[in-house]
Chain A
Amino acid sequence: MSVPGAGASSPFSDLGVRVAETLARLRLAGGVTVGCSARRAVWSRGKTTLYRYDPITEPIRGARPLLVCFALVNRPYILDLQPDTSLLRRLLASGRSVYLLEWGDPDEGDRLQDLNDYLEHGLGGCMQHLLGTHSLDAIDLMGVCQGGVFTLCYSALHPTQVANLVTLTTAVDFQTSGDLLSKWVRELDTQLLERMGNVPGELLNALFLSLLPFRLMQQKYVRLLTGRADQRAVEDFVRMERWIFDSPPQAATALAQFVRWFYQENRLVRGTLELGGRVVDLKAVRQPLLNLYASADHIVPPAACEAMGRLIGSRDYTAAAIDTGHIGMYVSRKAREEIPQRIIAWLEARSGGRARRGA
């Protein structure tokens, strides 16, 4: 790959050298893999699959299993991208059984799949399977981003099944003043959107990138190219890039409902959300809740997450802003230490004396 304008006679020839070296490292990094922990599928329905991650340490006897529910709009392997940043690995290292729900890719045959299907058949199916398998009345649940919204709704509709709830970068108020995404979709015709059919992941990527186009489509590349990144840093970057551009398509009906009910009508805040004929009342969320969010999130603004505290019914509510951005919540150096530590300590404090190290 040539670097225009960076020839030997250029005043920036040393930058040209740096760029050329990084580009060479990028070519070597083309074969990086993503996802690092062994797991096995234990349940599925339609496109939804539940995975159990293999233990990596002595299990804690009596600890409740933890089910992680990710968003529909991205793939969950960001939580297990590579060993040193894997949130799932850190949770496994605490001795818990960790499960992950993967939604899979909807095809055109799934275009009518709605939010209630995802919630009751997808998340609900996983919950029922785990409650049965572990012979428990309730398990711990963690929702990430849009998945956090699902776990909140599920906890409100099935409060007895969720012992403790953890939410990461989860919006509740979708109409806060700093929410650019919300402003942009407020007048979108969701009936047309639904009739269009499934929306490709690339389109949503374009939408997310266009929130901060110069930083996300220019500056981050220039910083890497000119920053004397070593091979490992380049590989980390490539893994992230792969994840960012590897977005699944969105089922037409579910996406249209999400835009209309959450972004346009803000039903979660107004208490008017109905799923499967039942009102989702956040006051019914009475289990302990840990709400972690990013203080510099351009997709889910902090204020959108902070609203949770005043809307839920739980008396055991802990919220903490992590000093990073949306993606940084999963991969930044700070977050990779702070977030798992907080989650593990919080869950252990609420294990009710059930959890004991040793099988």
Chain B
Amino acid sequence: MQSFFAYQSPQSEAAFAGAAARFFELLKTFAAQPPGVPGQPTDWTSFGATLAGQFEQWLRSAPAAGAAFAAAAGLPPGAGTWPPGPVPLGPAAAMGADATAWELLMKLGQLQGQLAQHWSEIASSAAQLFLARMRTRPSAELSSESALALYELWVECAEEAYAATVRREDFSHLQAQLTNTAMALLLAQRRQAESLARAWGLPTREEADALQRQIRELREELDRRAARPSQGTAPQAAPARSRRASKGGAKGGAKGGAKGGAKGGATGAGRRRRGAARSKPR
């Protein structure tokens, strides 16, 4: 079944290419700084804003669970401004969102804005940390190896600044609110789609859930019957399918007797797959 979530994990090649591109962009930023006076620390002050800007942009585009929920609800990733502009509403787009959905959408946009403020704060704080540590270093000509060392220092500062913010209660609270609101919005959109489906006589999620619950209850009943100690007679009024499944369950335990039978592969799928041919290394 198609997932409602639109979030895609990064493809490896794209991840490498992206990391390489950002790395060299950062190195170019390092290299673009005016050379310092020999024997004196380089003045990196003008460098801070560029560095923070690059980092903030990346933070906004990096995957995060809350953002993934928001994206699934139709809010563009990294949307940090309010109002966010025209927003696709997924399945509800054709019929228009009801008041609840709009309220949730507005709230989601506001929360995204608050999240963007945190990204901005983290980026700025990372750049300040980096600059402070750079000032304590003697000036040296930028080579590949020193650039790599600078990069490692930058990563250290970035993670430190990130951790300082994301470990705070207000960030955790915001993260949860963002995810909860995005989920609530998705469910509101789903309700709209459900009402339309019901009007058209189409099966709904609600009906599918009800059926699943019934199947689950039946399975539990089968398990209970299969687990009962043998009383010498077949379970009374057990439908044919149940009897077959119970038999399969008894077999499934191999030498486990009744104990094994109780748990041992009561399903047809289990019987089919049992003793399957050796699987090849993947």
Residues of A within 8 A of B (CB): 1, 3-6, 10-12, 14-16, 19, 23, 26, 33-46, 49, 51, 54, 77, 107-109, 111-112, 120-121, 124-125, 127-129, 131-133, 135, 180, 183-189, 192-193, 195-207, 209-210, 212-215, 217-219, 221-222, 224-226, 238, 241-242, 245, 249
23 example contacts (A-B, Cβ-Cβ < 8 A) are as follows: A11-B31, A12-B24, A12-B31, A12-B147, A23-B17, A23-B20, A26-B12, A26-B13, A41-B276, A45-B267, A46-B269, A120-B263, A127-B263, A128-B264, A132-B256, A187-B177, A188-B180, A192-B184, A196-B183, A206-B68, A209-B63, A210-B65, A245-B10
Task: Judge whether B147 and A221 touch: CB under 8 Å.
Answer: no
Q: Which residues on the B side are within 8 Å of A210 (C-beta)?
A: 62-65
- Complexed CA–CA distance, A19 and B151 (Å): 15
Q: Given that A3-B24, A40-B278, A44-B273 are known contacts, is A214 also in contact with B256, CB under 8 Å in the complex? A: no
Task: Judge whether B254 and A180 touch: CB under 8 Å.
Answer: no
Q: Which residues on the A side are within 8 Å of B208 (C-beta)?
A: 108
Task: Judge whether A214 and B175 touch: CB under 8 Å.
Answer: no
Q: Which residues on the B side are within 8 Å of A192 (C-beta)?
A: 180, 183-184, 187
Residue of A nearest to B55 (CB): A214
Known contacts A4-B24, A40-B278; 15 additional CB pairs below 8 A are: A5-B27, A43-B264, A111-B209, A112-B212, A128-B260, A129-B254, A131-B256, A132-B254, A187-B176, A192-B183, A206-B65, A206-B67, A221-B16, A221-B19, A249-B3
B207 interface residue per 8 A CB criterion: no
8 A Cβ contacts from B162-209 to A: 162-163, 166-167, 169, 172-173, 175-177, 179-180, 183-184, 186-187, 208-209
Interface string of B9-32 (1 = CB under 8 A from A): 110110111011111110110010
Q: Which residues on the A side are within 8 Å of B263 (C-beta)?
A: 45, 120-121, 124-125, 127-129
Q: Which residues on the B side are within 8 Å of A109 (C-beta)?
A: 212, 215
Expressed in whole angstroms, the minimum distance between the Cβ of A222 and any Cβ of chain B is 5
B136 interface residue per 8 A CB criterion: no
- Complexed CA–CA distance, A3 and B274 (Å): 51
Q: Which 5 A-B pairs have the closest CB atoms?
A: A132-B256, A5-B24, A221-B19, A187-B176, A132-B260
Task: Judge whether B159 and A221 touch: CB under 8 Å.
Answer: no
Expressed in whole angstroms, the minimum distance between the Cβ of B85 and any Cβ of chain A is 24
Expressed in whole angstroms, the minimum distance between the Cβ of B130 and any Cβ of chain A is 12
8 A Cβ contacts from B25-43 to A: 25, 27-28, 31
8 A Cβ contacts from B203-229 to A: 208-209, 212-213, 215-216, 223
Residue of A nearest to B157 (CB): A214
- Complexed CA–CA distance, A242 and B11 (Å): 9
Residue of A nearest to B59 (CB): A213
Q: Which residues on the A side are within 8 Å of B183 (C-beta)?
A: 189, 192-193, 195-196
Task: Determine the main DSSP class of B at the interface with A.
Answer: helix
Residue of A nearest to B169 (CB): A183
Contacting residue for B155 out of A1, A132, A219, CB 8 A: A219
Task: Judge whether B256 and A215 touch: CB under 8 Å.
Answer: no
Task: Judge whether A19 and B65 touch: CB under 8 Å.
Answer: no
Q: Which residues on the A side are within 8 Å of B173 (C-beta)?
A: 187
Q: Which residues on the B side are within 8 Å of A242 (C-beta)?
A: 12
Expressed in whole angstroms, the minimum distance between the Cβ of A242 and any Cβ of chain B is 8
Q: Which residues on the B side are within 8 Å of A41 (C-beta)?
A: 273-276, 279
Task: Determine the main DSSP class of A at the interface with B.
Answer: helix
Expressed in whole angstroms, the minimum distance between the Cβ of B266 and any Cβ of chain A is 7
Task: Judge whether B270 and A45 touch: CB under 8 Å.
Answer: yes
Q: Which residues on the B side are within 8 Å of A26 (C-beta)?
A: 12-13, 16
Residue of A nearest to B155 (CB): A219
Q: Which residues on the A side are within 8 Å of B64 (C-beta)?
A: 206-207, 210, 213
Q: Which residues on the A side are within 8 Å of B179 (C-beta)?
A: 188
B76 interface residue per 8 A CB criterion: no
Task: Judge whether A214 and B270 touch: CB under 8 Å.
Answer: no
Q: Which residues on the B side are within 8 Å of A46 (C-beta)?
A: 267, 269-270
Which of B10, B23, B254, B264 has its CB near the most chain A CB atoms (within 10 A)? B23
Contacting residue for A129 out of B151, B209, B212, B260, CB 8 A: B260
Contacting residue for B172 out of A112, A186, A207, A213, CB 8 A: A186
Expressed in whole angstroms, the minimum distance between the Cβ of A18 and any Cβ of chain B is 8
Task: Judge whether B270 and A186 touch: CB under 8 Å.
Answer: no
Q: Which residues on the A side are within 8 Å of B143 (C-beta)?
A: 11
Q: Given that A33-B282, A206-B65 are known contacts, is A23 also in contact with B28, CB under 8 Å in the complex? A: no
B241 interface residue per 8 A CB criterion: no
Residue of B nearest to A224 (CB): B16
Task: Judge whether B159 and A217 touch: CB under 8 Å.
Answer: no
Contacting residue for A45 out of B12, B254, B266, CB 8 A: B266
Contacting residue for A108 out of B1, B62, B278, CB 8 A: B1
Q: Given that A33-B281, A210-B64, A221-B20 are known contacts, is A202 also in contact with B9, CB under 8 Å in the complex? A: yes
Task: Judge whether A39 and B278 touch: CB under 8 Å.
Answer: yes
- Complexed CA–CA distance, A54 and B17 (Å): 40
Task: Judge whether A217 and B252 touch: CB under 8 Å.
Answer: no
Residue of A nearest to B271 (CB): A44
Residue of A nearest to B223 (CB): A121
Expressed in whole angstroms, the minimum distance between the Cβ of B278 and any Cβ of chain A is 4
B87 interface residue per 8 A CB criterion: no
Task: Judge whether B167 and A128 touch: CB under 8 Å.
Answer: no
- Complexed CA–CA distance, A112 and B216 (Å): 8
Contacting residue for A206 out of B7, B31, B158, B254, CB 8 A: B7
B8 interface residue per 8 A CB criterion: yes
Q: Which residues on the B side are within 8 Å of A121 (C-beta)?
A: 223, 263
Q: Which residues on the B side are within 8 Å of A241 (C-beta)?
A: 12, 15
Q: Which residues on the B side are within 8 Å of A129 (C-beta)?
A: 252-254, 256, 260, 263-265
Q: Given that A33-B281, A132-B259, A209-B63 are known contacts, is A186 also in contact with B176, CB under 8 Å in the complex? A: yes
